[in-house]
Amino acid sequence: MKLTPKYGPMIIPPRDWESPNNGGYLISRARMMRTRPYPLQKTLLESADLKQIFGGLNALGKQPWKINTRVFDVAQSLWDRGGAVAKLISRTDHELLTKEAYFEKRVSEGVPLEEVDREYRKKKMEVTKGNRELHSERCSTWYKFENAKELKDEEELYFPHNIDFRGRAYPMSTHINHVGDDLSRGLLTFGGPEPEIGREGLYWLKIRLANLVGHDKKPLAERIHAADDTMKMVFKVALDPLAEENLDWWTTKDDPFQLLATCFDLERILSSGESNAYTKTSSLPVHQDGSCNGLQHYAALGRDAAGGRAVNLVPQEMPRDVYSTVLERVKAKVKEDAAKGNENAGLLLPLLTRKAVKQTVMTSVYGVTAYGAKLQIKRQLKALRGSVEPATLSRIADYAARCTLSSLGDLFKHADETRRWLSGSADAISAAGQPVHWITPMGLPCVQPYVKWQSTVSNEVPLGHAQYRPLKLKGPRGF
C-alpha cells in the first residue's frame, strides 16, 4: 500500500520562502505560519520585513537527511514480531474475558452479582478505550514505517519548515521528521557529504552515548568516562542488536532507537581503535535540548539568578535538573505539613516522584491553572487509585498541585514576577476587546490566535460581517 500524506519528506530541496504564502512544497499549498487566517495576523505578516525569518526556514529546509537503513531493518524486525518492545506499541489488543466467564470467576470468589455486573461494565469500558488508543498509536507507527520503507533508498531527503504564531520552527512532514518521537529520530541521519569527526566530533559522540544511557545529569568529564565504560556493550549491540542479552539492554533505555543508531556509528568509527577514529566520517545527529525552555526564557527575562541556576543558564560543574529541584521543595513543604498532622500530606509524601511534578513544572510557563495542575498530578498518582476513594484522590492531587505551584513561585521569584506582568498586560488588552500581539527582535509580528469568530447584525455593521473577539481567559496564558 502506497502512503501519500499531504505533507511528507521531499527528495529534492524545497522552494525558498518568499512570502507568507509562497514557499516550501512545490505543489501542495502551505503557509509560512501555521495558524488560522486571522485578518490582523495576515495584514501584519504581509507588511513585515521577514527576510531573517525566511532565511532561517530556508536554511532548515535545505539541510539534507536520509533514512538510517540499519536502524530501520532492526526496527522493522521488532515491529514484525509484534512490537511491545523498544517503546514500540503492541500489535495485540488488550483481552477481556467473556461476560459469562468473568461472572463465573467473580461469583465463585464470593463477589455479589450486582457488584460483578458493575465491575464488568467498567472493565469493558476501560479495555475498549485502551484498544482504541492502541489502534490510533499503531496507525501512527505504521505510517512511520511505510514512510521510511518508501524513502530508504533515497540519497537525500528534505523537510520544509514553517512556524507557529510564536515563531517556533517545525518540520511540516506529518509522520516522520527529525523532531518527532524516538523512532522517528532514530530512523533519520544527516544526508549529504559526511565530515571527518576529529577529536571534537568523537568527544560529542561519546557525550551523546552517555546521555542516552542515563548519565545526562553528570559533569561532561564523567560522561566521557561513562561512555568509555559502556563501549564493550556498544560493540556487542552493534554487531548483534537482536541477540536476547543485547536486546534486553538497549531496548529498555529511554530513547532506544537513538541509542541503537549511536551504537552502530561508534562501533564503525572505533573498530580500528581510537587513534584511527579521528579521520572517520559520521552523519549521526547529536540532539541537544534546553532545560525546560519556557522557564529558561522567563528566568532570563527576569534576570533571575536562582531560577537561572536551576535551568542551567549559568556555568556550573554539575548540570541541574529543575524537576528534581522543585520536587525537593515540594517534599519539604509536604513533610512540614505531615508533621503538623495534615492527612493529605501524609498520604502524598510516599508517592511524590519527579514524574509526579514534571508535567506541571513544564506547563507552568504556558499558564496551567491550579485545576489543570491538579488533573495532571492526579493522572500520575495512579498508585493511590486502588487504596482510596476517588474523592480523596482528588483532594490529595489538589493539595499536591498547590504545593508544586507554590514551590515554583518560590524558586523562580523574579521569573514569576515577569510572567505575572505579561499575563496582567494580556488580561487588560483582552478585556479591552483587543488582540494580544507583539513583534519579536527578528521582526516577526505575533498575534495570539485565541479569538472567537462571530457574525453581527446591526445598523452600523453589514449583514454577515465577520468580527473576531479575543478569548479573555486564554490571552493571559497564551505566551
Q: What is the pTM of this model?
A: 0.89
Q: Which three cell numbers stand for residue 246?
A: 543485547
Collapsing DSSP to helix, strand or coil, 394 comes out as: helix
Query: How many whole angstroms from its chain centre is CA 155?
Result: 29
pLDDT at 460: 45
Amino acid (one-letter) located at 28: S
Each residue of 415-434: pLDDT tens digit?
Answer: 888 888 988 998 898 888 88
Stretch 102-119: mean pLDDT = 90
Each residue of 201-249: pLDDT tens digit?
Answer: 999 999 999 999 999 989 999 999 999 999 999 999 999 999 999 999 9
In sequence order, which residues have a C-beta less than 8 Å from that of residue 426 and are 6 or more positions away?
436, 448, 475, 476, 478, 479
What is the C-alpha to C-alpha distance for residues 375 and 394, in angstroms, rounded to an integer?
8
User: With pLDDT > 70 as the criterion, what percentage of the chain qualifies?
Assistant: 93
Collapsing DSSP to helix, strand or coil, 32 comes out as: coil
Average predicted confidence (pLDDT) for the chain: 91
Q: What is the three-state SS of 257-288?
A: HHHHHHHHHHHHHHCCCHHHCCCCECCCCCCC
What is the C-alpha to C-alpha distance for residues 467 and 469, in angstroms, rounded to an integer?
7
Each residue of 21-76: pLDDT tens digit?
Answer: 999 999 988 999 998 767 889 899 999 999 999 999 999 999 999 999 999 999 99
pLDDT at 241: 98
Q: In the chain, what are the helix, strand and coil shares in percent, each to the nearest 5? A: 55, 10, 35
For the cut 70, the answer to whether the pLDDT of residue 175 exceeds it is yes
Stretch 361-366: mean pLDDT = 87
Most distant CA atoms of the chain, gap in Å: 84
For residue 150, with 0-12 CB atoms within 10 Å meaning exposed, 13-18 middle and 19 or more buried, which class applies? middle
For the cut 70, the answer to whether the pLDDT of residue 11 exceeds it is yes
Residue in 382, 421, 376 with CA at minimum distance from that of residue 398: 376
For the cut 50, the answer to whether the pLDDT of residue 349 exceeds it is yes
pLDDT at 415: 87
Tell me the CA distances in angstroms from 274 to 146, 178, 206, 233, 269, one per residue in order: 37, 29, 12, 16, 8
Amino acid (one-letter) located at 144: K
What is the C-alpha to C-alpha distance for residues 202 and 275, in angstroms, rounded to an integer?
11
The DSSP output letter for 88 is P
pLDDT at 449: 85
Q: What is the DSSP string of 292-355?
A: SHHHHHHHHHTT-HHHHHHTT-S--SS---HHHHHHHHHHHHHHHHHHTT-HHHHHHGGG--HH
pLDDT at 455: 55
pLDDT at 386: 61
